[in-house]
């Protein structure tokens, strides 16, 4: 009988009872076992398994063969304890189900794999206490380095200082602490915000609203700065009523745009620092019968895959997420290679691209093609 979650959604249909998963080997084969069987020593077996040091071809193949035959599996804990290195890099993101972050991870995986490191993925769910726990656990597990995109709540950095204390290098990607003395791989968020806003102005929209995220995160600050700069370059004064600075979700997007549309002088366009809140606005406007892009232009940020699927397809800023991940991993591996040598800090900035789709293209100009799934 298994324990079950009681829930109206659930229905336990069948519960079989039969013996299963009985350990066939209660004790794992160790290099000591292999050594004994081959009348040699553990050091020789260890050398043979790694091809390290000096080892005769004959002994090597004998060991390899027996290891296979006995289904030997190395004990990483023992190896890492002894060698002092885990060959593991920790990766921390707010959430794994955002296309942006999962693409970063894909890039990281590719590079770290090539360099012989494995990764440990963890998500903070944007909760600071989770982030702290994850870092604590990663220190305990002796990760060689950490790649991190911080959570929305991360205003203090004591847990990151811990990493420095333990000599564990870390590289921020995308969401970073605002200090260039850290290793960071960012996109040029200012430029992203500028391009997006300028594009709306070029399309003839006049009164451009803006959603952004918590301004203690540099990325949102910079997207907002880009927005303001574009307005300024066009000689348009900004209107505080048209800015919503804690608006990253679909729900918030709906509410914010509803409020703004009821202003005496409502906006005719929106640049949002988040695809999700841009989507909320789009859904609200469609529901109200406001025509997008004819009467209202929208540009989001991140190129989440749904942006190409909604109707009309949404203009957005692509962050080259895979490249961000690759660069962060490269920077990290470089640091690991150069430990004890000259320490350098890398601040890599990647250029964003505006992907023009239909929500902003009121003249139906042909632009670059939307991305498909």
Partner DNA sequence: TTGAAAGCGCTAACAA
Partner DNA sequence: TTGTTAGCGCTTTCAA
Cα 165 to chain centroid distance, Å, stands at 25
- CA 295-315-260 angle, 5° bins: 45
- Interface residues for DNA in 304-363 (CB under 7 A)? none
Residues numbered 43 to 102 that lie near its own copies (CB under 8 A) are 71, 73-78, 80-81, 86, 95-99, 102
Nearest to DNA of 41, 180 (CB atom): 41
For tokens 């659930």, the residue is 10
Binding partner of residue 54 among DNA, its own copies, none, CB cut-off 5 to 8 Å per kind: DNA
What residues numbered 50-69 form the site for DNA, per CB under 7 A?
50, 52-56, 58-59
Site for its own copies in 131-160 (CB under 8 A): 136-137, 139-142
Residue 44's binding partner, choosing from DNA, its own copies, none, with beta-carbon cut-off 5 to 8 A by kind? DNA
How many Å separate Cα 10 from the centre of its chain?
33
CA distances, 281 to each of 29, 88, 256, 303, 368 (Å): 61, 42, 8, 16, 24
Asked whether position 285 contacts its own copies by CB under 8 A, the answer is no
Is there binding between residue 40 and DNA (CB under 7 A)?
yes
Q: What is the DSSP string of 166-184?
A: TT--EEEESS--S-TTSEE
Cα–Cα distance between 108 and 173 in angstroms, integer?
A: 11
Q: What, of DNA, its own copies, none, does residue 50 touch, CB below 5 to 8 Å by kind? A: DNA
Report what 59 binds from DNA, its own copies, none; CB cut-off 5-8 Å by kind: DNA
CB of 61 to DNA, least distance (A): 11
CB closer to DNA, 3 vs 39: 39
Closest-CA residue to 126 (of 238, 216, 260): 216
Site membership for DNA, residue 162 (CB under 7 A) = no
Which residues inside 65-104 make contact with DNA, applying CB under 7 A? 74-75, 78-79, 81-84
Q: Which of residues 194, 271, 276, 301 is near its own copies by CB under 8 A?
A: 276
Q: Where are the beta strands (DSSP E) in the chain?
A: 88-93, 118-123, 145-148, 170-173, 183-187, 208-211, 243-244, 269-272, 297-301, 315-318, 347-350, 353-355
Which residues of the shown chain bind DNA in the complex (CB under 7 A)?
27-28, 30-32, 39-47, 49-50, 52-56, 58-59, 74-75, 78-79, 81-84
């Amino acid at each position: 009988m298994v324990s079950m979650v009681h829930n109206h959604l659930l229905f336990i249909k069948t519960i079989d009872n039969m013996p299963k998963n009985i350990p066939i080997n209660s004790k794992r084969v160790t290099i000591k076992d292999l050594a004994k069987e081959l009348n040699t020593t553990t050091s020789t077996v260890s050398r043979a398994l790694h091809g390290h040091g000096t080892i005769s071809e004959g002994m090597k193949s004998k060991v390899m063969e027996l290891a296979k035959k006995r289904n030997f599996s190395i004990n990483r804990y023992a190896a890492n304890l002894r060698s002092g290195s885990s060959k593991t890099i920790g990766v921390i993101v707010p959430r794994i189900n955002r296309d942006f972050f999962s693409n970063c991870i894909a890039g990281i995986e590719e590079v770290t794999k090539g360099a012989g490191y494995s990764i440990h993925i963890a998500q903070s769910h944007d909760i600071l206490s989770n982030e702290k726990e994850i870092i604590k656990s990663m220190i305990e597990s002796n990760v060689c380095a950490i790649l991190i995109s911080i959570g929305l709540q991360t205003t203090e950095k004591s847990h990151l200082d811990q990493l420095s204390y333990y000599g564990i290098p870390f590289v921020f990607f995308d969401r970073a602490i605002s200090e260039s003395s850290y290793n960071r791989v960012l996109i040029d968020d200012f430029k992203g915000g500028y391009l997006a806003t300028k594009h709306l102005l070029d399309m003839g929209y006049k009164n451009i609203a803006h959603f952004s995220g918590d301004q203690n995160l540099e990325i949102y600050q910079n997207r907002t700065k880009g927005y303001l700069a574009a307005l300024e370059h066009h000689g348009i004064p900004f209107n505080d009523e048209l800015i919503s600075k804690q608006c990253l979700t679909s729900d918030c997007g709906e509410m914010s745009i509803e409020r703004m549309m009821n202003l005496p002088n409502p906006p005719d366009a929106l640049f949002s620092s988040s695809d999700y809140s841009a989507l909320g606005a789009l859904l609200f406007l469609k529901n109200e019968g406001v025509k997008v892009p004819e009467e209202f232009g929208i540009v989001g940020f991140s190129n989440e895959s749904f942006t190409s699927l909604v109707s009309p397809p949404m203009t957005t800023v692509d962050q080259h997420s895979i490249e961000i991940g690759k660069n962060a991993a490269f920077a990290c591996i470089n640091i690991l290679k150069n430990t004890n040598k000259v320490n350098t800090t890398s601040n890599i900035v990647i250029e964003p691209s505006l992907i023009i789709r239909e929500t902003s293209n009121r003249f139906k100009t042909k632009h670059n093609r939307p991305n498909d799934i």
